[in-house]
Amino acid sequence: MQYISTRGGSLGQYCDVLLEGLAPNGGLAVPERLPQLSGGDLERLRELAYPELATEILSLFATDIPRDDLARLTAAAYGGGKFAAAEIVPVEPLSDELTLVGLSEGPTLAFKDMAMQFLGEAIEYVLDKTGRVLNVLGATSGDTGSAAEHAFRGRERVAIFMLSPQGRMSAFQRAQMYSLQDANVHNLAVEGVFDDCQNLVKRLSEDIDFKRAHSLGAVNSINFGRISAQIVYYVWAWLRATDAVPAAERAGFEVSFAVPSGNFGNILSGYYAKSMGVPVRRLVLASNENNVLDEFFRTGRYRPRSAEHTLATSSPSMDVSRASNLERFVFDLLGRDPERTAAAWRELAETGQIDLSAEQPRLETEFGFVSGTSTHADRLATIRSVFESTGVTIDPHTADGVKVARGHIEPGIPMLVLETAKPEKFADTIAEALGTPIETDAATRALLDAPQRVTDIADDEQLLRSFIAERALRA
């Protein structure tokens, strides 16, 4: 399979885009054509364990990795006790109307582990084959950073430079990242918000000479490897949700997915799964108070906020105003026309917004997207109601998903809510919602008490360039 840029031009095969961030022209890598899954294909996948399913789905995208090698990579990513649940992704009902897709069983207790554990194995595989090194430059609003660092810590051919916004993550999230002492892990806390961190990453990634000189790559959701690995759990969730459906009725049996969304990578993977043939009726996008994406899907106008207008909320991993993955969807919305896509992003750079209101009716009717916003009061009430009715404690981001999902339930259509993280990562909000402190186990106390190593840095491109140049790995 070949990959192209959303703004035009060929980018090579899977292993090529795995080591790259932005395309040279500033676009994002997408498959030249999405592979397709028929009803018969899906049925043949039903009895597979999660690592085997991952091999099957990823083999459609990673056609340049021999199948036996890919099977070893998925076995290493999802085996060896890395995930607490034996099935890797448990799918359990919350009520007659809602089902929770458990994506937070991995080493950092967040859904980002699902793709990042595979990416760690796959990137090391490519680097070993080619004799190259990679200096990963990324930005995190909380969970991506820890998942990436735990996937790449100690790997000889990879160094990771992770930017995070000062004071914008929970204590647990900070501890998961900053307590790592591995020599190849570099944490930088930037004065500003997540979008400032992301802008720094983008500016350095767009400097082709600097990028090549320092072997820069990306593992946040602009890396298509992440997107492809996330498609797997949408297929898995549909299979589990339809296990009890009579075999004669499974073909075309639709479900809907509710997805807490900040950078648009997770729900984009669901859109790709739907486009490949998984019977998905609706993709329900849940925003927090930074509801730029909700506004886009309701109006067709994309208007990212400035840093000073990006709110600090109790679902901090979604405190994003500029969703870097939206360009991949807009590329499809505009007929996969790279010139129109590039023009839209020029409009964004020049005016601060993109007006696609003429396309808005198609967002639901053709692509299946609906959306909604959740507030702090909403998430507290939702955490409380779910706990009182089921005994299950959900984290604030998952609560946003449940709250918005409840407004889009349809008779006969299962609504699957994608879990974001374990609740202990956000103990203060859980305590506020339930009225009692969340119980802290010995491992969590040890993590929070561990020495932390982080470099505070101004929102300054030149300072970041110098920091990387001094510490980057050389081939």
What spatial distance separates the first Cα and last Cα of the chain, rounded to whole Å? Answer: 28
pLDDT score at 242: 97
What does the pLDDT look like over 350-392, one tens digit per residue? 999 999 999 999 999 999 999 999 999 999 999 999 999 999 9
- Specify if 241 maps to a domain: yes
As a whole number, mean pLDDT of residues 88-99 equals 96
Range of lowest pLDDT (60-74, 330-344, 420-434)? 420-434
As a whole number, mean pLDDT of residues 42-52 equals 97
- Specify if 266 maps to a domain: yes
State phi, psi for 421 to the nearest 5 degrees.
-160, 170
Q: Please answer whether residues 260 and 418 qualify as being in contact, where contact means their C-beta atoms are separated by less than 8 angstroms.
A: yes
Active-site residue list: 112
Tell me: pLDDT of 447 over 80: yes
pLDDT score at 411: 96
Residue type for position 215: S
- Specify if 308 maps to a domain: yes
Under the banding of pLDDT at 50, 70 and 90, the label for residue 437 is confident
User: What is the Cα–Cα distance from 136 to 147, expressed in whole angstroms?
Assistant: 13
Under the banding of pLDDT at 50, 70 and 90, the label for residue 127 is very high
| Dihedral sign (CA 350, 351, 354, 355) | negative
- Separation of CA 468 from chain center: 25
Tell me: pLDDT of 395 over 80: yes
pLDDT above 90 as % of the chain:
86
Q: Which residue has the tokens 């200096």?
A: 135
As a whole number, mean pLDDT of residues 161-189 equals 93
CB atoms within 10 A of CB 334: 17
Tokens, residue 405: 């999902």
Q: Please answer whether residues 157 and 134 qualify as being in contact, where contact means their C-beta atoms are separated by less than 8 angstroms.
A: yes
- Specify if 309 maps to a domain: yes
Of residues 42, 71, 43, the one with CA closest to residue 58: 71
- Specify if 59 maps to a domain: no
User: What is the Cα–Cα distance from 135 to 138, expressed in whole angstroms?
Assistant: 10
DSSP three-state, residue 107? coil
Q: Please answer whether residues 60 and 377 qualify as being in contact, where contact means their C-beta atoms are separated by less than 8 angstroms.
A: no
User: What is the Cα–Cα distance from 207 to 204, expressed in whole angstroms?
Assistant: 5
Under the banding of pLDDT at 50, 70 and 90, the label for residue 149 is very high
DSSP annotation string for 261-276: -SSSHHHHHHHHHHHH
Tell me: pLDDT of 166 over 80: yes
Q: Please answer whether residues 297 and 361 qualify as being in contact, where contact means their C-beta atoms are separated by less than 8 angstroms.
A: no
pLDDT score at 469: 96
Tell me: pLDDT of 117 over 80: yes
CATH number at residue 354: 3.40.50.1100
- Separation of CA 259 from chain center: 10
Tokens, residue 207: 């400097």
Write a three-state SS string for 304-345: CCCHHHCCCCCCHHHCCCCCCCHHHHHHHHCCCCHHHHHHHH
| Dihedral sign (CA 391, 393, 397, 398) | negative
pLDDT score at 362: 97
Residues 6+ apart with CB under 8 A from 110: 103, 104, 142, 143, 146, 147, 317, 420, 421, 422, 425
pLDDT score at 324: 86
pLDDT score at 440: 80
Of residues 63, 52, 74, the one with CA closest to residue 16: 63
Q: How many domains does the chain have?
A: 1
Burial environment of residue 97 by CB neighbours within 10 A (0 to 12, 13 to 18, 19 or more): middle
Tell me: pLDDT of 47 over 80: yes
pLDDT score at 218: 82
**pTM assigned to the model:** 0.93
Q: Which residue has the tokens 């916004």?
A: 165
Tokens, residue 341: 């896509």
Of residues 445, 381, 393, the one with CA closest to residue 423: 393
Under the banding of pLDDT at 50, 70 and 90, the label for residue 234 is very high
- Specify if 45 maps to a domain: no
Tell me: pLDDT of 39 over 90: no
Tell me: pLDDT of 347 over 80: yes
User: What is the Cα–Cα distance from 157 to 30, expressed in whole angstroms?
Assistant: 26
Q: Domain residues for 416?
A: 91-108+230-434
Q: Please answer whether residues 293 and 323 qualify as being in contact, where contact means their C-beta atoms are separated by less than 8 angstroms.
A: yes
Under the banding of pLDDT at 50, 70 and 90, the label for residue 457 is very high
pLDDT score at 260: 97
Tokens, residue 88: 């890797």
pLDDT score at 255: 98
Range of lowest pLDDT (150-159, 300-309, 434-443)? 434-443
DSSP annotation string for 145-214: HHHHHHHHTT-TTEEEEEEEETT-S-HHHHHHHHT---TTEEEEEESS-HHHHHHHHHHHHH-HHHHHHT
Under the banding of pLDDT at 50, 70 and 90, the label for residue 235 is very high
Residues 6+ apart with CB under 8 A from 386: 94, 392, 393, 394, 399, 402
Q: Please answer whether residues 269 and 276 qualify as being in contact, where contact means their C-beta atoms are separated by less than 8 angstroms.
A: no
DSSP annotation of 423:
G
pLDDT score at 206: 87
pLDDT score at 300: 97
Of residues 41, 78, 38, the one with CA closest to residue 56: 41
Average per-residue pLDDT for the chain = 95
pLDDT score at 273: 98
State phi, psi for 39 to the nearest 5 degrees.
-60, -40
As a whole number, mean pLDDT of residues 251-265 equals 95
3-state helix, strand, coil in the chain (%, to 5): 50, 15, 35
